[in-house]
Structure 1
C-alpha cells in the first residue's frame, strides 16, 4: 500500500506537565532495513512517557522524539530484509518511541502477533509491560516455582502483569498497594497476600513469611533498605524505577552475609538484539498463555489520542488500576 505523507500525532511542545502535550502533524515514517511500519489503532500509556514529557527520560539516539513505547495495529510497510511479517498482519510491538501517532516504525524483531481472541485495544497494552516484567522478574531475577515474590505497586500496569505471571509460574505472590480497592484488585488477580502500605509494614509481613526470594521494585528511595531487610537469604532485589528517588543509605554487609543480589534494568536503552531476545522468550513462554486466556492485561481507561494530556494526568494521579490506553484509529 502507499503510505500517506503526513499523520496525526501528539508531541511534547516543551518540557513540563501534561498540558505540554499538543496535537501535531508529522511526516509518516518509512521503514529502515529490518523494520516494519504499523498503522496504530491504540497505543499504551506508560510511566516513562510522563518522565520523557518532564524532560527526565531522553529518547535513545535515532529514535522518534514523540512519546509512546508500545502499540498495536496493522502492518502497512516492510523494510528491506523483513520476511517474518506480511502487509495486513496484526501486530503489537515494543517501540523505541513514536507511539503517540497514527503510524510508527519499529524493528520487526520487537513485534509480536496479536494473541488469539484479543482485540487491538488490549494488545496495545502488552509489550512495554510484558517485556519489562519478563526480562526483570524471570530473566534477571530468576523467579522459580515455589519461591516467594513481592511486587510493589501491585495495581499498576507492571504490577497487575507481574502478579498474574508470577502466580501462573508457581510463585507465592505478595503485592503492595495504597488502598483497600487496589489491594482487592491485586488479590483478584492472584496475589496470595495484598499489603496496604499505608497501614501495614511489608517488611514485617515478608520476614514472618520467610522473606521474599525476588522483589520487583519501582519505588526506590526509602524502600531500598527496607527491601533488603524483606529479602530471604539468597534473595534478589530487581529495581526498575525510582519514583521516590535513586539514592539510599544501605548496609552492604547484609548483602555479603546473606548472599543477596541487587540488580535492575531499564528497557528503552537496551540494544535491539537484547529486546529481540526478550521478544523471543515471550513468544515461546507467555504468548500461548495470552492466547489461551490464562492471563490478560488489566484495563483502566481509554482516551482519544488528542486527549493524551488527560491520560497523563490520570497516570500521575496514581488512581488508575491497570493500563491506560490511547485510541488512535
Structure 2
C-alpha cells in the first residue's frame, strides 16, 4: 500500500505495509481525498504524536469508498461513498477505521467536497455546541476564522442564529469571513482585538486555537458566565490567568481536543452532525469551503501553504480518482 512517509524534512509517497482485514465494527476505505490539518504539521514537527495504537501516518480525515467491512458492521456495506474522522493514517491509499467514525457522503456531494467535512465540522460542532454549550442567541468570538475549522464554525453560527465576531490575518480574510456569516471582524496584525470586540458587544463564548498569547485579552472580552474553549497552541502554551476576573465573572476555561477521543465518543459527535448539520448541507445553508488541493505526491506543497496561513478554508490532497 502506498502512503506518505516523513523522511527528515520531506514527505515521500512510498510503498509501505498493507493493512490488516477489518475486524469487529471496522471498515476499510479506499481513499479518494485526504484533508490537511494543522495537527498534521504539529505531528510532522514531532510535537503532536498520535494516540496509542493509532497509525503513525499523517492524516485525520478522508473521503472514499468502502472496500470491506468487519463482521459486526451495522451501518455500511462495500461500495458506500463515505467520509471518515481518523486518529491518523489518512495520507494513504487505504484506511481502516471504526464505523462509528464514518458518515455517508451527503446527497449530491462529491468525494472531494466530502473530504472537507469530517474534521472541521466535528471540531466546530463539538466545541461550539457540546463543550461551549451555546444557548439560543448567544454571541461568539472566533479566532483564526479563515481556517478550515473557523470557516465551518462561522457557517454554523449563522445557521443556528449566533452572531459572531472574528479575527484573522488580513483585511481580505475578514471580508471573506463576512460573506460566510461573520457580523464583524478584526485584523490581528493591527493590534489587540479587545476594544473592537467590546464595541461590537458582549461575547458569551470564544473558540480559540491560538492559546497562551490570547488568554489575557480573551478574559477581558468574555462576558459573565462566558466560556473560553481552547483548541490549539499556535500562540504558545503558558500564560497568566487572571483568577480574580475568572471568579468575579464566573468564566469557564475549557481545554478540548478531538483526536484522542474513543470511537464511541467520536461516534456521538458524528451522530450530532448527521442530525443537525447534514440536513443543512443538503439544503445548501452551509457548505464545505475548499481553498486549494494538491496530488498526494505533492503533500509538501500543501503543508507549506498551510504553514504560511495562506488558506481560507480547507486544503486537500488527492489520493485516487474514485468518482
Which of 294, 299, 302 matches 1:303? 294
Which of 6, 9, 19 matches 2:3? 9
Structure 1 CA distance for aligned equivalents of residues 182 and 191 of structure 2: 16
Look up the SS of the partner of 1:286 in the other structure.
Answer: helix
Counterpart of 2:244 in structure 1 is 253
Unmatched runs of 5 consecutive residues or more in structure 1: 1-6
The alignment status of 1:26 with 2:20, answered yes or no, reads no
Structure 1 CA distance for aligned equivalents of residues 206 and 216 of structure 2: 12
Contact 2:25 2:74 in 1 (8 A): no
Number of positions where the alignment pairs a residue of Structure 1 with one of Structure 2: 319
The alignment status of 1:268 with 2:262, answered yes or no, reads no
Structure 2 CA distance for aligned equivalents of residues 174 and 106 of structure 1: 36
Structure 2 CA distance for aligned equivalents of residues 149 and 242 of structure 1: 20
TM-score by structure 2 length? 0.96
Contact 2:5 2:12 in 1 (8 A): yes
Deviations 1:24-49 (A, max 9, x none): 11233221221101101100000000
Structure 2 CA distance for aligned equivalents of residues 56 and 222 of structure 1: 19
The equivalences for 1:288-327 within 5 A come to 288-327=279-318
Structure 1 CA distance for aligned equivalents of residues 23 and 283 of structure 2: 34
Structure 2 CA distance for aligned equivalents of residues 20 and 48 of structure 1: 17
Structure 2 CA distance for aligned equivalents of residues 107 and 96 of structure 1: 11
Aligned-pair Cα RMSD in Å? 1.1
Deviations 1:175-223 (A, max 9, x none): 1111111011101101000211222532112223332101000111220
Unmatched runs of 5 consecutive residues or more in structure 2: none
TM-score by structure 1 length? 0.95
Deviation at 1:73, TM superposition (A): 0.6
Structure 1 CA distance for aligned equivalents of residues 5 and 23 of structure 2: 22
The alignment status of 1:90 with 2:86, answered yes or no, reads no
Which of 47, 54, 66 matches 1:56? 47
Structure 2 CA distance for aligned equivalents of residues 28 and 188 of structure 1: 44
Structure 1 CA distance for aligned equivalents of residues 100 and 261 of structure 2: 14
Which of 278, 295, 316 matches 1:287? 278
Counterpart of 2:203 in structure 1 is 212
